[in-house]
Amino acid sequence: MLLIKNGTLVTAEKTFDADILIDGEKIHSVGQDLAPGDAEVIDASGKLIMPGGIDPHVHLDLPMFDTVSSDDHYTGHKAAAFGGTTTVMDFVPQADEGPLRPAIDEWHEKADDKAAIDFGFHMNITRFDEAIAEEIPTLLDLGIPTLKVFTAYNGRLRLQDHEIFRVFQIAREHGMLTMLHAENGDVIDVLKAQALADGNTEPIWHARTRPGWGAVESVLRACALAAQADAPLYIVHMNTAGGAEMLKYARRQGVQVMGETCPQYLFFTEEHMQREDGAKWICSPPMRSAEDNAALWQALTNDEMHVVGTDHCPFFFDGTQTIDYEGQPIAIPGKELGAEDFTKIPNGLPGVGDRMPIMWTYGVGEGRITPNQFVAYTSTNAAKIFGLYPQKGALQAGSDADIVIWDPDRKLTYGVEHSHHRADYNLYDGWELTGFPDKVFLRGEMIVNGEEWLGHRGMGKFLKRRPGAEVF
């Protein structure tokens, strides 16, 4: 048994002093002055104790354009753990033809032997017909109660509105949750063609051809479809003030809709894509304006947003150069592929290891959110929404002993060496942080001890999630 003593527990609901007794993979008890004589003791004096982070939005080992995202299900999990996250959820791409099951089997082949933390899958629905409609409910037997649809990426990922509506209806009938990427694919296609015809190929045109209004109207349109289907909806990576307003409006009308944002939309703007290294900031949807940053922070302050994920999908900035990863040189083609054409720059950036330290310093540390909101946004809300609570996201008897001992006083200058992504850059390089994970436990086993990695490939478990999860 393991006893963590003298710490201050921070949950989504309250902050209090208590000890935690761990028996195997589970929390045995939480209380004052616990003292079983045979337990190994960790003194957490001066430290905070939180549930392990849950990032419900990552893309690992994802093929895109002529390359693949640079973190796989080991390297991405390791980076997550160093940042205090012990559970992630990846998206299974739907194949161009045939049933859904082979794609899920392929993703298990990618993940199962490499997983270093616990993980789950969402299923992309990017091609819809009656055979797919009949197969969707069978995903519940595989532990996948969540579907993702798109209003962008015409000809590749996008479903038409009537198809999205049908997905909503099926999800409602079976207690599933639909996630949605909200942009206007038709407008994007027109603007991209016009930009290229005019010789505009620089990274900034990625943002200029994906206008914020497209996200705003797509959020409202998605909410309207969900309302008419009487189905729950989760909008991923929200990036605009207008989108946050539409979310608030729809919820006031009784729509069962929840919102996720990501750190990049709280700190960066389109102007970053005008830098010489602007390709580093290319992701979809793009960063917007300082006003959008402020509005999204306000939504978090006011509990009008529900989850902070990352949309972690890293690519090398210069994949012609090698980096060292665990003593081995590695180079993967990256954003240099679009050096002459912004439409060929792989869309995505690193973030899974940055999320909790960055949100603590610049969210909690600057008074934008409370420590309890921090835990809600980075762990507990996702556990409840995605069918894992109280197994995950909780510090209570019977929960998995996924625990972060957090040092609120540790100061460091952040960068690539701290994030542990398999990438050649970090968006927060040089940022000054106060507060960082000290020790991280996955189901009772310490996997991070300061700067020491104690985890290993294959120790992570696939999480079969339940349907009918909580709607906020």
The identity of residue 248, as a single letter, is K
pLDDT for the residue 181: 98
Q: What is the mean pLDDT of residues 316-339?
A: 97
Query: What are the backbone angles phi and psi of residue 204, rounded to the nearest 5°?
Result: -60, -25
- 382-391 pLDDT, tens digit per residue, is 999 999 999 9
**Structural domains of the chain in order of their starting residue, each with its CATH number:** 2-50+392-453 (2.30.40.10), 52-385 (3.20.20.140)
Q: How confident is residue 398, by pLDDT bands cut at 50, 70 and 90?
A: very high
Alpha-carbon distance of 393 to 379, in angstroms, equals 5
Alpha-carbon distance of 227 to 370, in angstroms, equals 32
Query: What are the backbone angles phi and psi of residue 288, rounded to the nearest 5°?
Result: -120, -110
Partnered with residue 452 across adjacent β-strands are 449
Are 62 and 68 in contact by the 8 Å Cβ rule? The answer is yes
Percent of the chain with pLDDT over 90: 99
Query: What are the backbone angles phi and psi of residue 418, rounded to the nearest 5°?
Result: -90, -30
Return the half-sphere exposure (C-beta side, CA atoms, 13 A cut-off) of residue 288.
25
pLDDT for the residue 351: 98
Alpha-carbon distance of 434 to 123, in angstroms, equals 37
Alpha-carbon distance of 392 to 120, in angstroms, equals 12
Cα distances (Å, whole numbers) of residue 22 to 17, 50, 393: 16, 14, 16
pLDDT for the residue 98: 98
- 444-462 pLDDT, tens digit per residue, is 999 999 999 999 999 999 9
Does this model's pTM top 0.95? My answer is: yes
- 100-131 pLDDT, tens digit per residue, is 999 999 999 999 999 999 999 999 999 999 99
Alpha helices by DSSP H, listed for 284-415, are 290-301, 355-359, 371-375, 381-385
Q: How confident is residue 417, by pLDDT bands cut at 50, 70 and 90?
A: confident
Q: What is the mean pLDDT of residues 344-365?
A: 98
Q: What is the mean pLDDT of residues 351-355?
A: 98
- 229-254 pLDDT, tens digit per residue, is 999 999 999 999 999 999 999 999 99
Q: Is the pLDDT of residue 350 over 90?
A: yes
pLDDT for the residue 35: 83
Partnered with residue 123 across adjacent β-strands are 92, 147
pLDDT for the residue 348: 98
Sign of the torsion formed by the C-alpha atoms of 161, 469, 227 and 88: negative
What residues contact 128, with CB distance under 8 A and at least 6 apart? 159, 163, 166, 167
| Dihedral, 325, 441, 373, 423 alpha carbons, nearest 10 | 0
- 29-50 pLDDT, tens digit per residue, is 999 999 878 999 999 999 999 9
Q: How confident is residue 263, by pLDDT bands cut at 50, 70 and 90?
A: very high
Residue 236: name the closest of 182, 290, 164, 312 by CA. Answer: 182
pLDDT for the residue 93: 98
Alpha-carbon distance of 99 to 76, in angstroms, equals 28
pLDDT for the residue 469: 85
Alpha-carbon distance of 212 to 427, in angstroms, equals 22
Other CB atoms closer than 10 Å to residue 158's CB: what's the count?
A: 18
Alpha-carbon distance of 160 to 168, in angstroms, equals 12
Other CB atoms closer than 10 Å to residue 367's CB: what's the count?
A: 8
- 145-175 pLDDT, tens digit per residue, is 999 999 999 999 999 999 999 999 999 999 9
Q: Average model confidence (pLDDT) for the chain?
A: 98
Percent of the chain with pLDDT over 70: 100
Cα distances (Å, whole numbers) of residue 160 to 151, 184, 255: 7, 11, 21
pLDDT for the residue 242: 98
Are 392 and 403 in contact by the 8 Å Cβ rule? The answer is no
